[in-house]
Structure 1
């Protein structure tokens, strides 16, 4: 993660940079979400000039084991996933309410997303239901309220973000704007993975690519997202290989380096 952040010109701030008196609780993962958000707002206020665009990426940790958080904030006990998730929801609500008092709020887009669900393992190597995550775009002065049920991936977040902000993104993205894809009626597809397998989900079929050039196809129930082995579909298999091979080759050959610091423009 550090390599990715530093390679993309991130300025990384963590709990070692926080005033200890501002931290309510912490564990091996980091500080509680409220303390994280409060410090984040202070850092934004200290570093962002009026009218200056900024990008802040904040990673929460309270909803990870051992599920500890400040007592007295919610009506569920510590040490359990349900309480930790409810606390994170509470903390995000507090963050939004505090942000509403800032001069930059009306021009700011909040993106709230998860990485994966709990226990991302199952009967299949890549259980699709364990990768079904929430994604919220919140900007009451920029976006109307609505719901989009289109099937998308995390790689679609960045181009969607630029699309909402009216920016012209460079064409190096492998993802696509959710709204542009909807306008153009592009095929719906999803990319999921773990440390060994690469998944490509399209037309209720999941292709799993494994080491040593192994591939398996699964039929996915659209309602439950449960998977069962099925006959290989060569067309979808070839698409899966093409996507991942092209991305790997571009990375290894440095094809994306020329785009550094030129990702978007107004």
Structure 2
């Protein structure tokens, strides 16, 4: 959330989304706002969780969530809309089913289109989490039987969403981005398991660009700078992310957990940990093998994370 929205490496410790004084930051929403877009955030449960409502609310997003009990601060100048019970067909402890939240997105998109209001919608889905439950009959794997069913259901929901979107008058002028946060079994761990941070990302429905498979190493922070470049948009920012199609792009990726911070360039991996410890490894696509530290690589990772933290701590990431 921090990496995609702010286009910076994840800062040490708590995510910026959970910190105080995280309002009026220069996020991707500022780029959209300057282009005349309205920013929307959708979440299928109460956005009080992980401080999402507060973070998105103070950074140019209107909120769509279940609205149970929690309220936004009076200092937040945003609108909040409740996803009502009669709009939900299935719900578990994580929130409403993926196809329910996609249905809500389609409804709001129709409303915005009817008023000729361009919009950017950020949608957080939750069905691919334990207990892996979903409405019976959607796919051929029983609800609650495991991750394989949840993955297939998530895929079904995306396909159903796109099929319905294709019938809308706004489809031809809409770009869709799908991106994960991490793979399975990587959350809430101190250690960094590189293979569990190799995720999929798609930029879909840009007819002016040929379909292609990007095989070079990129990061979540690069997604929107790449899109903005593909749209030929100009803007001034402190984004760390780059256009991955630029000839000067240097492949690398960032991985962060609660304590450790990692940077990967090809097979080379450097991990910073508490007490100013640092270790360098070679990644063989299965395991990490520790090697001698390259001082330049060490400086590179420290400079990326430390400057990102410095900019936030000194209010230099704020919208001007």
- Between the two proteins, the alignment pairs up a number of residues equal to 254
Residue aligning to 1:263? none
Is 2:102 the counterpart of 1:41?
no
Residue aligning to 1:233? 294
Q: Whose relative contact order is higher, 1 or 2, with alpha carbons under 8 Å and at least 6 apart? A: 2
Residue aligning to 1:200? 263
Q: Deviations over 1:113-162 (max 9, x none)?
A: 10000101799921110000000111053432221101001011120121
Q: Could you tell me how far 1:50 is from its partner in structure 2?
A: 5.4
Counterpart among 146, 158, 165 of residue 224 in structure 2: 158
What's the TM-score once normalised by structure 1's chain length? 0.89
Q: Could you tell me how far 1:51 is from its partner in structure 2?
A: 4.5
What's the TM-score once normalised by structure 2's chain length? 0.75
- Distance in 1 between residues matched to 2:186 and 2:193, nearest whole Å: 7
Residue aligning to 2:212? 146
Q: Deviations over 1:213-233 (max 9, x none)?
A: 111111111xx2531222211
Residue aligning to 1:248? 309
- Distance in 2 between residues matched to 1:143 and 1:57, nearest whole Å: 23
Is 2:296 the counterpart of 1:213?
no
User: Once structures 1 and 2 are overlaid, which stretch shifts more, 114-123 or 232-241?
Assistant: 114-123
Which sections of structure 2, spanning at least 5 residues, go unmatched? Answer: 1-51, 68-81
Q: Could you tell me how far 1:111 is from its partner in structure 2?
A: 0.3
Residue aligning to 2:59? 8
- Distance in 1 between residues matched to 2:155 and 2:224, nearest whole Å: 23
Residue aligning to 2:178? 112
The answer (yes or no) to whether the contact 1:51–1:104 under 8 Å persists in 2 is: no
The answer (yes or no) to whether the contact 1:218–1:229 under 8 Å persists in 2 is: yes
The answer (yes or no) to whether the contact 2:113–2:170 under 8 Å persists in 1 is: no
Which sections of structure 1, spanning at least 5 residues, go unmatched? Answer: 260-266
Change (3 A) 1:167 1:119: same
Residue aligning to 1:65? 130
Q: Deviations over 1:2-38 (max 9, x none)?
A: 3431232111111341231221110111100111100
The answer (yes or no) to whether the contact 2:256–2:262 under 8 Å persists in 1 is: yes
2:259 partner SS:
coil
**Aligned alpha-carbon RMSD (Å):** 1.9
- Distance in 1 between residues matched to 2:136 and 2:189, nearest whole Å: 37
- Distance in 2 between residues matched to 1:227 and 1:117, nearest whole Å: 18
